[in-house]
């Protein structure tokens, strides 16, 4: 058997943490190989080592049968390894063509390059306009730019880091067509994911990591999805279910909200209407960049709306800022943890003060009582199982999952009448995600209303009893799941896509 | 190879050690410079005059406190804005306007006695400084014009304005056309708190202001507001803080305090308005604020330290005929070293050997 | 208007605007790489002093200009080292550089305040320079004026016509992404800062080698700061620097001429004009943009880059 890449016994530590512990992995010629694992399982570290942006502490690699120790991404690319990053490494103010040229070593700025891009674009069905500025592109289109950038290097191994996490179902199936074609043309693909269904669909082999260690390499089709999940997660997760849904009267409504974006690259919101009842969990699905950020900004109160648009508990709240809204028992968890929901360079105690209902006495007449603040921090830490030595730790020192638990806890201990949360489990490990989902359900069961904005369709489907789709700044009516189901949602998600 | 690894928690030890290291490095550099430029004078005695004499000499020590007061007051105001990421670099201009405003009130009531005159002058100076800084605040809030450039340009304008005033309305009618105001009468002069020196009540006020600022930073939500705004602007919006108000308040506070310092200088050591009112305090206070890591109590110490370099610098100028600009070099160097040493707080410096 | 007055005004404008073009075009490149260096004033004054000293001792304008260039570069390397390797706050470090530069040049130049030098003269090309109006305006300027224009062109050419320029722009746009695809962020920024230093040094030298034959410790008089304003005014586009500098130069010359004519405003108020004009120019720019975000602003401007890998 010919292996394109052989990775043997790689170990990489950060201080006490072993990100990779004796990991091995072999990728066959012209195959699509899955690298499976939870967040924090060590996938990214391994991939960075292969791509030359990290050096392993020990272990070795072979490329095409000979020794391979890349010291930089340049060296990896010279050998024929290309990578599509999870958070795209694109430059928003530059054009597609400029972006592509930047990723190619030894290519200058010559005029005929446009044709070359269009050639690949046609060959692999990757629709793109080379002269467009990347900032104006949809997420799917940006990924196509990344892929073309990689293909132009004529790679023998293409690494794709969580490529489908931001795509619509239609874009996903288009991507799979492209990937199969590539593999047929002789390019191996290392496909990093935690989505088992996808892996079973297109990968011929899978390597599973957990906690930095190799669990197993196997053929994914030979295992059930459940078996793969258990290998990946290692323990069984509690099933989610809302047993009895008791909804009360209307508590929150959006009436014909329209708002042009301030940002050049932003999305204008058009005629959004929505009503939430007490005790209900409502979900807004949709692909990133369709107005989620803009909507969240208005719901939190970071930007004021007109009068007679937002109503909460009988109050017209359009002109209230977030602090004033909290006094009415509305609470918020934004998507971005570092820099939005939490201040990275401040302690957890200080971060408690970002969300501050005056009834809790953390401050009186704006004078802070630090004892009370840290009592609340301790409560959040213990009730929500936040792994941290103390409330004095800087927010940025916590892992994504722990910080998310802190942020969720900070809002939930207030027993909000309405919680608005964006991407509640983005980049969070499965265990923490499960905890967070359960606490959200518990909150709704006590009669609170919850609005979830999420790109994770599975999350929305499992938590929400009423689902809307946000596309190009417009919100659909609630989808009748019994009648139309998933297909309708997919259709709505793609509906707005212009390309 | 040297590597920097971010720490999970800021190093407590380094917060204290890094300024000391910076000081040591500055002293060593100063020594090297002296050895280079001083041929026949004893390096050690220059060193002594520069750094030790101001602390021990009974004339120089109170002078040191006199110089520290305006630095402390301006530094406090600037530190508040700097925490919020609002860069008022033109405190010198607000200081000059404050001095003119306070002085003009004093001159208007020339020879009028009354306990109310000094508070009135102080108030005028604060309002003058605030109004001047509010130009930058307005332009930033309304037009997103960078406050660094506006406050700086206005500093040049303020200095020219002072000169115009001293040749015009505020000129001493009996002053042989010199561009100077009358000498303030007693009611318009700050009370002296140390008999026989120039040390005035402004120093006490500066200390009180530092304590007030300390309380504000530590215990008041406004302190949190500016800190959060400076560190993560989106989080500040999430918390419900109005960023325009943060800009306005920080500039008003720093402008008002700079204006007050200008009045202290005019009604204290100067005793009149002269073209020599701007003493570069507004710029030096930037160094003061950074050396203190923007901490109000730290500012008390850093302003004393910088005042020491001023007084020492003047003394070596008189005794050894060395240029006073040497003070500025040391101040710049101190800030460089200090900024550089700060990396030890947030990062661990690791020497790692190349692997075989 | 009288022809010779017209010519002398135009030439006055080129003389007033050239130091700004030098300093601003250097800073433009620095800011395009994502670094904000507020030390322009300090670097200019060092350039002015070094140019003066070398001209005074050697009488060679070439050496003088070279010295100013290298001096600006040397002092900017402090900023580059601190911000790029020790990750210091760029605003604070830039201010420190200005204060340090002013102090250092006042100290080192204390022996030269009474001296005068021979200025660098405008060129004279036979025939061409003698053509009426066009001759003096186009073919008889100071050689450094031409150099400044060439530098603007070169910066434009570098940014838009070379791969390295594209990489530099990409680093200013998103340094993490640039690092991820393997470009050396720190090296590019270091180089850009040194270039900015060299240009500021040249701008300073123009003051002491072309404008006035003397040295004074406050001779930059805020021009470094005005240059920073020009970069904003130019929306980080090279050729607009020239436009901004001419506007500013025009105001300076206007003010000088107004002082010459017996206008009944005190000189101080006229001297305020360039500074007030800078503010007004910045405001008018924002009004024109109508609060829309500007796409040419480098996204990473002033942000600290530290690669964890």
Q: What tens digit of pLDDT does each residue of C239-270 get?
A: 999 999 998 888 888 887 776 666 667 788 88
Residue among C117, C201, C111 at smallest CA distance from C151 = C201
Domain with CATH 3.40.50.300 in chain A: 3-233, 250-493
Average pLDDT, integer, range C47-76:
94
CATH 3.30.479.30 for domain A3-233, yes or no, is no
Contact B10 A368 (CB under 8 A): no
Supply the pLDDT for residue B217: 92
Please indicate whether residue B226 or residue C119 has the higher confidence score (pLDDT). B226
The backbone torsions φ and ψ at residue B249, rounded to the nearest 5 degrees and listed phi first, read: -60, -45
Specify the pairing of strand A3-14 against strand A17-28: antiparallel
Residues of B in contact with A339 (CB under 8 A): 232, 234-235
Chains near A with 3+ CB pairs less than 8 A apart are B, C
Average pLDDT, integer, range B216-239:
93
Confidence of residue B216 (pLDDT cuts 50, 70, 90): very high
Torsion sign across C-alpha atoms C44, C47, C53, C57: negative
Confidence of residue C114 (pLDDT cuts 50, 70, 90): confident
Residues of A in contact with C236 (CB under 8 A): none
Supply the pLDDT for residue A499: 31
Furthest C-alpha separation in chain A: 74
The rounded mean pLDDT for chain B is: 89
Region of B271 please: left (phi>0), alpha (psi -120 to 50) or beta.
left
Average pLDDT, integer, range B250-267:
96
Average pLDDT, integer, range B242-265:
96
For A289, residues 6+ apart whose C-beta sits below 8 A from its C-beta are A138, A139, A267
Average pLDDT, integer, range B144-151:
90
In tens, the pLDDT along B168-190 reads 888 988 888 888 999 999 888 99
Supply the pLDDT for residue A374: 94
Contact B227 A339 (CB under 8 A): no
Which residues are A61's β-sheet partners? Answer: A7
In tens, the pLDDT along C199-220 reads 999 999 999 999 888 898 888 8
Supply the pLDDT for residue A498: 33
Report the alpha-carbon angle A136-A142-A148, nearest 5. Answer: 130
Supply the pLDDT for residue A483: 78
**C-beta of residue A24 within 8 angstroms of C-beta of residue A31:** no
Contact B144 C228 (CB under 8 A): no
A335 touches chain B (CB under 8 A): no
Query: B14, B179, B293, B340: best mutation site toward chain C, by most C Cβ within 10 Å?
Result: B340
Q: Residue C188 pLDDT > 80, yes or no?
A: yes
Supply the pLDDT for residue B160: 94
Supply the pLDDT for residue B279: 86
Would the pTM count as exceeding 0.95? no
CB-nearest partner of C181 from A48, A89, A262:
A89
Torsion sign across C-alpha atoms B32, B34, B37, B42: negative
**C-beta of residue A4 within 8 angstroms of C-beta of residue A27:** yes
CATH 3.90.320.10 for domain A250-493, yes or no, is no
Query: C170, C237, C301: best mutation site toward chain A, by most A Cβ within 10 Å?
Result: C170
Residue C121 buriedness (CB in 10 A; 0-12 / 13-18 / 19+): exposed
Contact A133 C177 (CB under 8 A): no
The single-letter DSSP state of residue C208 is: I
In tens, the pLDDT along C122-133 reads 877 877 777 877
Residue among C17, C9, C41, C5 at smallest CA distance from C196 = C41
CB-nearest partner of A93 from C173, C180, C183:
C173
B152 touches chain C (CB under 8 A): yes
Supply the pLDDT for residue C158: 96
Host H or E run for residue B213: helix B202-219
Supply the pLDDT for residue B43: 80
- In whole angstroms, what is the distance from residue A444 CA to residue A327 CA? 19
- In whole angstroms, what is the distance from residue A1 CA to residue C212 CA? 80
Confidence of residue C177 (pLDDT cuts 50, 70, 90): confident
The rounded mean pLDDT for chain C is: 88
Report the alpha-carbon angle A191-A195-A196, nearest 5. Answer: 95
Contact A340 B235 (CB under 8 A): yes
Residues of B in contact with C101 (CB under 8 A): 332
Query: B223, B231, B232, B233: best mutation site toward chain A, by most A Cβ within 10 Å?
Result: B232
B336 touches chain C (CB under 8 A): yes
Average pLDDT, integer, range B241-267:
96
Supply the pLDDT for residue A110: 67
Specify the pairing of strand A418-422 against strand A330-333: parallel
Q: Residue B334 pLDDT > 80, yes or no?
A: yes
- CA distances for A276 relative to A280, A413, A414, A439, C57, angstroms: 7, 21, 19, 19, 82
Supply the pLDDT for residue B355: 40
Q: Residue B342 pLDDT > 70, yes or no?
A: yes
Average pLDDT, integer, range C49-59:
93
Q: Residue B356 pLDDT > 70, yes or no?
A: no
Chains near C with 3+ CB pairs less than 8 A apart are A, B
Q: Which residue of A has its CA nearest to C162?
A: A109
Supply the pLDDT for residue A496: 42
Q: Which residue of A has its CA nearest to B228?
A: A343
CA atoms within 13 A on the CB side of A421: 33
Contact C170 A102 (CB under 8 A): yes
Q: Residue C81 pLDDT > 90, yes or no?
A: yes
- In whole angstroms, what is the distance from residue B331 CA to residue C34 CA? 27
Residues of chain A predicted below pLDDT 70: 1, 15-16, 39-40, 86-88, 110-111, 165-166, 234-241, 243, 264-265, 494-499
């Amino acid at each position: 058997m010919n292996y394109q890449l052989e990775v043997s016994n790689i170990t990489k530590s950060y201080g006490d943490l072993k990100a990779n512990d004796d990991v091995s992995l072999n990728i066959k010629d012209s195959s699509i190989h899955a690298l499976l694992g939870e967040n924090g399982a060590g996938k990214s570290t391994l991939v960075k080592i292969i791509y030359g942006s990290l050096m392993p502490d020990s272990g070795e690699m072979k490329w095409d049968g000979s020794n391979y120790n890349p010291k930089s991404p340049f060296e990896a690319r010279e050998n024929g390894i290309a990578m599509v990053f999870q958070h795209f490494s694109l430059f928003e103010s530059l054009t597609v063509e400029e972006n592509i040229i930047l990723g190619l070593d030894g290519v200058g700025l010559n005029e005929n390059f446009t044709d070359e891009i269009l050639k690949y674009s046609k060959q692999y069905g990757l629709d793109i306009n080379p002269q467009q500025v990347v900032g104006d592109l949809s997420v799917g289109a940006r990924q196509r730019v990344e892929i073309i950038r990689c293909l132009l290097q004529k790679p023998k191994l293409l690494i794709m880091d969580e490529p489908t996490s931001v795509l619509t179902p239609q874009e996903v199936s288009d991507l799979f067509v492209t990937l199969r074609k590539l593999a047929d043309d002789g390019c191996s693909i290392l496909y990093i994911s935690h989505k088992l269904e996808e892996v079973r669909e297109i990968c011929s082999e899978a390597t599973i990591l957990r906690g930095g260690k190799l669990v197993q390499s196997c053929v994914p089709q030979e295992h059930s999805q459940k078996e793969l999940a258990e290998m990946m997660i290692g323990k069984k997760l509690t099933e989610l279910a809302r047993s009895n849904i008791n909804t009360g009267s209307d508590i929150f409504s959006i009436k014909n909200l329209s708002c042009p974006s301030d940002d050049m690259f932003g999305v204008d919101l058009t005629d959004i209407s929505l009503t939430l009842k007490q005790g209900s969990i409502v979900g807004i699905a949709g692909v990133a960049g369709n107005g989620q950020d803009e909507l969240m900004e208005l719901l939190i109160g970071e930007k004021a709306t007109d009068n007679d648009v937002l109503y909460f508990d009988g109050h017209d709240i359009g002109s209230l800022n977030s602090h004033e809204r909290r006094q009415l028992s509305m609470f918020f968890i934004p998507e971005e943890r570092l820099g939005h929901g939490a201040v990275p360079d401040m302690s957890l105690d200080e971060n408690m003060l970002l969300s501050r209902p005056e009834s809790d006495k953390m401050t009186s007449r704006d004078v802070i009582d630090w004892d009370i603040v840290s009592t609340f921090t301790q409560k959040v830490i213990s009730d929500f199982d936040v792994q941290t030595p103390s409330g004095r730790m800087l927010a940025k020192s916590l892992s994504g999952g722990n910080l998310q638990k802190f942020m969720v806890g900070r809002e939930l201990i207030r027993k909000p009448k309405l919680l608005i949360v964006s991407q509640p489990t983005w980049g969070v490990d499965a265990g923490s995600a499960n905890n967070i989902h359960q606490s959200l359900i518990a909150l709704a069961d006590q009669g609170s209303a919850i609005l979830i904005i999420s790109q994770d369709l599975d999350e929305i489907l499992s938590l929400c009893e009423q689902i809307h789709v946000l596309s190009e700044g417009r919100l659909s009516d609630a989808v009748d799941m019994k009648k139309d189901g998933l297909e309708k949602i997919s259709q709505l998600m793609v509906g707005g896509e212009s390309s | 190879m040297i590597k920097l690894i971010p720490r999970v928690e800021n190093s407590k030890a380094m917060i204290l050690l890094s300024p000391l290291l910076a000081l040591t490095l500055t002293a060593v550099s100063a020594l090297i410079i002296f050895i280079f430029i001083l041929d026949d004078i004893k390096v050690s005695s220059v060193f002594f005059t520069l750094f030790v004499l101001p602390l021990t000499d009974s004339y120089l020590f109170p002078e040191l406190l006199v110089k520290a007061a305006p630095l402390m007051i301006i530094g406090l105001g600037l530190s508040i804005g700097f925490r919020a990421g609002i860069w008022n670099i033109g405190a010198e201009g607000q200081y000059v306007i404050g001095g003119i405003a306070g002085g003009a009130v004093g001159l208007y009531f020339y020879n009028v006695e009354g306990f109310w005159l000094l508070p009135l002058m102080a108030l005028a100076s604060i309002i003058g400084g605030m109004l001047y800084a509010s130009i930058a605040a307005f332009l930033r809030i309304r037009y997103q014009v960078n406050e660094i450039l506006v406050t700086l340009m206005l500093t040049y304008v303020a200095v020219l304005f002072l000169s115009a005033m001293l040749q015009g309305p505020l000129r001493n009618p009996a002053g042989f056309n010199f561009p100077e105001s009358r000498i303030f009468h007693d009611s318009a002069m700050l009370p002296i708190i140390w008999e026989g020196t120039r040390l005035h009540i402004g120093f006490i006020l500066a200390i009180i202001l530092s304590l007030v600022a300390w309380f504000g930073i530590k215990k008041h939500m406004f302190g949190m507001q500016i800190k959060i705004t400076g560190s993560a602007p989106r989080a500040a919006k999430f918390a419900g803080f109005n960023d325009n108000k943060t800009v306005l308040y920080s500039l008003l506070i720093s402008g008002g305090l700079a204006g007050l310092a200008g009045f202290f200088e005019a009604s204290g050591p100067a005793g009149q308005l002269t073209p020599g009112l701007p003493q570069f305090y507004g710029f030096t206070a930037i160094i003061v604020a950074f050396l203190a890591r923007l901490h109000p109590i730290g500012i008390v110490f850093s302003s004393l330290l910088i005042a020491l370099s001023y007084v020492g610098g003047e003394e070596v100028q008189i005794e050894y005929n060395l240029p006073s600009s040497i003070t500025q070099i040391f101040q710049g160097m101190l800030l460089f070293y200090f900024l550089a040493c700060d990396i030890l707080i947030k990062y661990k410096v690791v020497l790692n050997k190349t692997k075989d | 208007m009288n022809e010779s007055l017209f010519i002398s005004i135009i030439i006055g404008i080129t003389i007033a605007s050239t130091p700004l073009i030098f300093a601003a075009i250097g800073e433009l490149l620095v800011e395009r790489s994502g670094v904000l260096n507020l030390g322009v004033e300090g670097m200019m004054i060092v350039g002015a002093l070094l140019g003066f000293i070398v001209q005074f001792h050697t009488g060679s304008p070439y050496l003088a200009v070279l010295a100013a260039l290298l001096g600006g570069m040397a002092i900017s390397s402090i900023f580059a080292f601190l911000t790029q390797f020790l990750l210091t706050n760029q605003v604070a470090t830039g201010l420190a550089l200005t204060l340090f530069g002013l102090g250092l040049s006042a100290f080192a130049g204390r022996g030269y305040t009474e001296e005068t030098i021979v200025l660098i003269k405008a060129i004279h090309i036979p025939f061409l320079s003698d053509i009426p109006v066009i001759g003096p305006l186009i073919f008889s300027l100071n050689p450094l004026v031409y150099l400044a224009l060439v530098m603007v062109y070169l910066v434009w050419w570098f940014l838009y016509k070379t791969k390295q320029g594209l990489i530099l722009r990409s680093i200013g746009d998103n340094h993490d992404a640039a690092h991820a695809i393997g470009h050396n962020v720190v090296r590019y920024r270091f180089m850009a800062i040194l270039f900015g230093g060299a240009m500021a040094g040249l701008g300073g030298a123009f003051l002491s080698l072309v404008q006035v034959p003397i040295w004074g410790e406050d001779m930059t008089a805020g021009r470094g700061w005005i240059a920073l304003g020009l970069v904003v005014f130019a929306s980080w586009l090279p050729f607009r620097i020239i436009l901004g500098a001419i506007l500013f130069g025009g105001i300076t010359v206007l003010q000088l001429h107004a002082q010459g004519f017996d206008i009944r405003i005190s000189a101080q108020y006229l001297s305020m004009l360039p500074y007030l004009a800078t503010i007004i120019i910045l405001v008018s720019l924002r009004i024109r943009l109508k609060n829309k975000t500007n796409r040419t602003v480098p996204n990473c401007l002033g942000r600290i880059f530290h690669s964890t890998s």
